[in-house]
Amino acid sequence: MRVLITGGSSGIGLHTARGIARQGHDVVLLVRSAERGAQAADRIESKAGSRPEVVVADLAEQAQIRRVVPEIGTIDVLINNAGLLLTKQRMTPDGFEETFAVNHLAPFLLTTLLLERGAIGARVVTVASIAHTGAWMNLEDPMYEWEKFSGWNAYCQSKLANILFAFELARRLQGTSITSNALHPGFVRSGFARNNGILATAAMLAATPFTISEKRGAKTSIHVATSPDVEGVSGRYFAASREARASAQAGDPDLARGLWELSERLVSASRPASAVPPGRST
């Protein structure tokens, strides 16, 4: 099995890649930095005995995602793992708020482009968060163009978007062999969000007693991506390697459809309403 993992050079993504490689699967890391990607490949090879492929693209730039898709080739599983949390509003080269762009639009674009090429064989796994329960999806202003920006609110909204995307994708892939699920990895003790200044770093450190290790945090991603128990299961949300209940808003099909249509417009994709490749029924 060939598995593509975004954000696989550190944190949960690195441990997910290592765990999947140890199972004997071929791993492809999609990373922003070639240097960090090579270092991650070294670490995985030293532990798993096989060296993953490394593909480099900045997920904040849609042109880079489009450029790299043909390089990826055919995969069995896509794990949309990469994500960020910002305390200050930043804009991408495409003019989008960066949290929404990297956490939602990037996996949306990457996944749909790969599907259009018939390049995904079995599963799409999207790493979300229990933080989605504190969010409200505002399709009129998803990137805080009018409302005052809050880094935490933007992050929670992006995690809600992850689940809405995963559920809507599952609906659109009905009748095919490809499944789509979302998951919460747990409150993981990592460097996530520690590049946002002293206060954010202090907050993360204060929360350390309530966190789990990166290795443990990767377990649910590995389970949903590779376990025979999840074969054929689609449109579900997992936590602690078990099916869990997402928020009521995450299960709103009209909201999911609206977000999908908005996302299509934002990535300027000239594709049919369904991301299912030609020849596959919906």
Spatial distance between the Cα atoms of 35 and 141, rounded to a whole number of angstroms: 36
How many Cβ atoms from other residues are within 10 Å of residue 168's Cβ?
23
Query: Of the residues 96, 155, 237, 238, which is catalytic?
Result: 155
Q: Please count the CA atoms within 13 angstroms of the CA of 260 that sit on its side-chain side.
A: 23
Are 8 and 31 contacting, i.e. CB atoms less than 8 angstroms apart?
A: yes
Amino acid, res. 10: S
Contacts of 35 (CB under 8 A, 6+ apart): none
Distance between first and last Cα of the chain: 25
Q: Among 81, 98, 85, which residue's Cα sits nearest to residue 11?
A: 81
Query: Catalytic residue at 155?
Result: yes
Spatial distance between the Cα atoms of 200 and 184, rounded to a whole number of angstroms: 21
Q: Which residues are catalytic?
A: 155
